[in-house]
Structure 1
Amino acid sequence: MSNVRNVIILCLLTVPSWCRLDEDMTYSSLSNNCVREHCFHQPAEACPSPESKCRCQKLRYCEIAAVCCNVNKFQLTEGLACANISGNGHVEALHIRNASLDILNVEDWRKLKYLKYMTITDGQINSVVGEFAKHTTVSCLNLSSNGIVNFENRSLVNLYNLTFLDLSHNNLSAVPRFKKDGNVTLDISANGNMLCLNLFDALQRTELHFSNINNSFCFFPKTFHWFNSTEFVPLTQVIGIHELRKDCRKNCTCEPSRLDIVSGKQPTISVAVNCSGQNWISLPTPLPANTFALNVSNNNITTLELFSSDPTYQNLRELYADNNQITSILPLEGSQFLSNFVILSLRNNKLKSLPTYIFSNILDRNNFRYLKLGLNKLQCDCNTAKLLKVWLLTKQKNIPDYEEIYCDNMETKVISLNPSKLCQTQQDWTDYIYYIITVEVILLVGLIAKVVYDYCVFKTSGYLPWPASKMPKLPCDWLCE
């Protein structure tokens, strides 16, 4: 042991001399001393001189580390061989700068069985193909600034020791698949084509930690489907939604639904919460932040009271509460939801009346609001036949299932009610009041005309015509005399 210690001291004092020690001891010692960075990276000054025939070289102060510069596929293969890196070369750290490879086949690196730190940067690589060997020891892989567009599906799946993956400054739209166990730190900053939905998938596959998170963004659609209209969203929001998925209310699911864009603010991802089929008797509370849609269908909920009292329901735009026991829509009156809703679905509930005044102005202002009330059985009467039926027919665009609303006290649909039959009842005198008023007005006009006639006759002839002359005098007649 003393001889080994003396040799190491001699190597450290002799710069830049080459030192060879017993292989097992030397490599572990040098690995700890000269490869200090988490991911091995060398500046352009470390490259071989332009006059050098070999495009690769080992570092003078660290034989287990090497650098290659300005290479194509052929020059890289030749340079690794002439620098004694490939084959039996014991190299643990390798940095390749400015490589024009078009396609990077990772199967070509299977001979470098000691490689732990693999860095390929500042080059031109379109895609990564092949598959690393199963016993590859690479723990840090840096493929930044190469313009990479895609990875083959299994290119990185055998990197079981991987702890850090740098894919920044490329043109990726998705995170490639890699090992499922353990934690991986990932840098995806400055990937202008990264899609948020692909990031959600990656977060579900592997537990990820992100580096350079404040400069990482992804594309998210403004609507529910993939159109050309997209928006940049901070990676922090994607991670927040992923955490929400894991911490969602028990027996519910929380999924990203759409993008909300407010002028002057960063876009926010809205959440769709699904709590259907839980046999609940009341609405869930509180809802996650930025909840856009709530599905509580197939439960036993009886009331919508929370819409007027719970602040977490203020941002809600879609409610699906089909197949419940809800008896009234009145709790929605005056709520923020009623002013902003896009879809309200209350099919197959216990509604007995439909107060049209609650929805009339709101539906008149926006033809893209939808109210679904089919399979409810209302209490029908004359007003239902004369008013509600007409209202449903005028709101066909907003109430697509208007033909499926029935009467509870008779076997018919609301839109099939006949006002002429339903409104002919003894207590309904509204149709005759106008006739009575007309007769009264005619009698009053006749009476006035008779009085005027009698007065004129009396003035000209001095006597009253019959029957005015036969009428007994009244106490008030002195006013006329």
Structure 2
Amino acid sequence: MIVQRTFLFAFLIYVHFSRGFTKDDEICYHPRVNIHSECDFTESRQRLVCFNGFKDEWRARVKDVQVLILCVWPKATFDPQEILRGFTFLRKLIIANSNLTQLSTAFPNEMQFLEKINVIGTKLYLLPNDAFSNLRTLRCLDLRNNALEEINITVFDVPTLKDIYLTGNPLRCTEDVAWILDSSEGSAASKVVDKDKLLCATPHDGRPLVPVVKIIVTLKEECKETVCDCELIYVTPPGELTQRQLIVFISVNCSYRGLTEMPEFLPTDTNILHLSGNKIKDLTPLATNPAYKSLLDLYIDDNLVESIARLEGSDWLDHFRRLNLRGNKLTDLPTYALEDALLHNRNAANLYLGNNSWTCDCHFTPGFQDLLIRHPNIIKDINDIRCAFTSDNDNSNKQIRDLTRTEICILPDEDSWLHPLDILNIILASLIFLVLGKLLYDYWSFKKTGKLPWIVAKIP
């Protein structure tokens, strides 16, 4: 049992040192049985260590304290103005291993010798913007392994501050953290020692913070050159690629903007583009504009697109993932080109072609119908792909997939009970039966009378 406890204790020490804890920090992680408030003062080091709170009886000796360590703080809040009153000569403060969630006030200005503050391993998520503004000698601020989701840059507005530690906090990767990109001398970002180790929280959980924030800031600037809304959807998780090779997925929404043409400019690495509800006719930019090189998903439903012929043989058609062409003015398309693209494009997942006025004739429809039947897993709205609605056509608004060749290739006025070809077939069949009948009669006559047929007798 003693060996197991010794091993457990050694393991706890290792874990906390591996997270960046100092020897003083590690004190708060010693296994303790007593849950009541207790303090221990080491006179040679002028160090006061308190567990489960701080009693007023120690205030008589606070001027002798230069290192104050508060472990397992019992309250959710910590009021520096009240609790640290009288610690005039304090040089180092550690608050660790507790359920502390917020500092309720700024540190008092009487603490003119305080050089280092460690608030580590707590649930701290809220700091006053002026929390450290009264400290004139603060050099190191360690806020690792807390619950800080966002930090206002004014918190670090302390002229003497040199080193800041922030790893282990679930920081939100938003534009509000853009200050971390400022590498100029004396900036708050330049003081963050572990900047390259910071990770994002949801929605980019576990991704490196600095590259992601840089992407977000760049995206916002580039989006200003469009009339669209832009959003960073996804970033590849660490481990799949190096930080310098992060792959991002960006969505740009230009729907219902009254556009008559596809945008000439898109933010870098745009993968998803929404153009629904505009008045766009031409899809040529997909094949010619480099801005669409990374585009995978295009939603251009409810527009005025009449043809996709310009995409034939294009690189975009060979790598697209989703294409929504519902509700346009399409009547036909290059079936062979689309068939070839779907066979060779491993990305192709969704294609929507419904609610268009498709031509139903013997020239286009059979090939188009075969395309629909061969790719039901990709063409998602096959039930809405119908013949154009016309009052004088029996195929009007019928599902193209279910049409028979007779319905497609025979015109209504040709669909009578006696077609000229049918008359010819009847005549030919009658002649065949007549010849066979005469042959049988001649054979019967020869067997009975021994006479050859008349025409055979006349042949020399």
**Shorter-chain TM-score: what band?**
0.5 to 0.7
Q: TM-score, normalised by structure 2?
A: 0.61
Alpha-carbon distance in 1 for matches of 2:92, 2:228: 43
Alignment correspondent of 2:232: 256
Is the CA contact (8 Å cut-off) linking 2:140 and 2:162 kept in structure 1? yes
Q: Which of 309, 334, 341 in structure 1 is aligned with 2:288?
A: 309
Per the TM alignment, residue 326 of structure 1 is displaced from its structure 2 partner at its CA by: 1.8
How far apart in 1 are the matches of 2:387 and 2:115?
69
Paired residues, number:
394
2:315 aligns with 336
Quick one: structure 1 residues 301 and 315, their matched pair in 2 at CA, closer, same or farther if it must change by over 3 Å?
Answer: same
Which residue does 2:33 correspond to in 1?
A: none
For 2:247, which of 248, 268, 282 is the aligned residue?
Answer: 268
Equivalence map 1:29-428=2 (5 Å):
69-75=48-54, 82-84=61-63, 96-97=68-69, 99-101=71-73, 103=75, 105-110=77-82, 120-121=93-94, 123-129=96-102, 131-132=104-105, 144=118, 146-152=120-126, 155-156=127-128, 159=131, 161=133, 166=141, 168-172=143-147, 174-175=149-150, 189-191=166-168, 194=170, 198-200=172-174, 202-203=176-177, 210=189, 211=192, 212-218=194-200, 232-249=206-223, 250=225, 251-260=227-236, 264-266=241-243, 267-360=246-339, 363=342, 369-408=349-388, 410=390, 412-415=396-399, 418-419=403-404, 420-425=406-411
Structure 1 residues 179 and 106, CA, compared in 2 at 3 Å: closer, same or farther?
A: farther
Deviation for aligned residue 1:160:
9.4
The alpha carbon displacement at 1:201 in A equals 6.7
Q: Report the 3-state secondary structure (helix = DSSP H, G, I; strand = E; otherwise coil) of the residue aligned with 2:174.
A: helix
Deviation larger for 201-210 or 104-113: 201-210
The offset of 1:247, in angstroms, is 0.8
Cα pair 2:304 2:329 within 8 Å, conserved: yes
Structure 2: unaligned runs, 5 residues or longer: 1-21, 25-38, 183-187, 432-452
Instruction: Write out per-residue CA displacement over residues 54-104 of structure 1, whole angstroms, 9 at most, x where no aligned residue.
Output: 7996xxxxxxxxxx5533354586556523499xxxxxxx87457443656
Q: Secondary structure at the match of 1:371?
A: strand
Q: Which amino acid aligns with 1:70?
A: V
CA distance in 1, matches of 2:308, 2:86: 70
Stretch deviating more after TM superposition (161-170 or 261-270): 161-170
| 8 Å Cα contact 2:322-2:351 kept in structure 1 | yes
- How far apart, in 1, do the equivalents of 2:398 and 2:148 lie? 53
**C-alpha distance 148-363 of structure 1, shift in aligned 2 (>3 A):** farther
CA contact (8 A) 1:385 1:414 kept: no
Query: What SS does structure 2 have at the residue aligned with 1:127?
Result: coil
Take 2:141 and 2:128, find their aligned partners in 1: how far apart are those partners?
A: 13
1:369 to partner: Cα distance:
0.5
CA contact (8 A) 1:385 1:418 kept: no
Aligned partners of 2:336 and 2:142: how far apart in 1? 57
State the match for 2:3 in structure 1: none
Q: Does the C-alpha gap of structure 1 residues 167 and 236 become closer, same or farther in structure 2, counting only changes over 3 Å?
A: same
Q: Deviations over 1:18-41 (max 9, x none)?
A: xxxxxxxxxxxxxxxxxxxxxxxx
Do the aligned partners of 2:133 and 2:155 also contact (CA within 8 Å) in 1? Answer: no
Distance in 2 of aligned mates of 1:175 and 1:271: 23
Tell me the distance in 2 between the aligned counterparts of 1:123 and 1:350.
67
CA contact (8 A) 1:131 1:158 kept: no
Offset at residue 178 of structure 1 (A)? 8.0
Q: CA-atom RMSD, angstroms?
A: 5.8
Cα drift, residue 171 of structure 1? 4.7
8 Å contact kept, 1:256–1:270: yes
The Cα shift of 1:339 comes to 2.9
* CA gap 1:161/1:74 in 2 versus in 1, 3 angstroms: closer
Letter in 1 for 2:410: Q
Contact 1:160 1:179 in 2 (8 A): no
Q: Which amino acid aligns with 2:409?
A: C
Pick closer, same or farther for the CA change 1:344–1:161 going to 2, 3 Å: farther
Structure 1 125/370 Cα, relative in aligned 2: closer, same or farther at 3 Å? same
Question: In the superposition, relative to structure 1, how do residues 321 and 82 fare at CA in structure 2: closer, same or farther (>3 Å)?
Answer: same
Determine if contact 2:253/2:274 at 8 Å carries over to the other structure.
Answer: yes
Following superposition of structure 1 onto structure 2, how do residues 466-477 of structure 1 map, counting pairs within 5 Å?
A: none
Secondary structure, aligned partner of 2:200:
strand
Q: Which runs of no fewer than 5 residues in structure 1 stay unpaired? A: 1-41, 45-49, 58-67, 87-93, 223-229, 444-464, 472-481
Deviation at residue 370 of structure 1 after TM alignment: 0.8
| Contact kept in structure 2, 1:136 and 1:159, CA below 8 Å | no
Contact 1:305–1:332 (CA under 8 A) maintained in structure 2 = yes
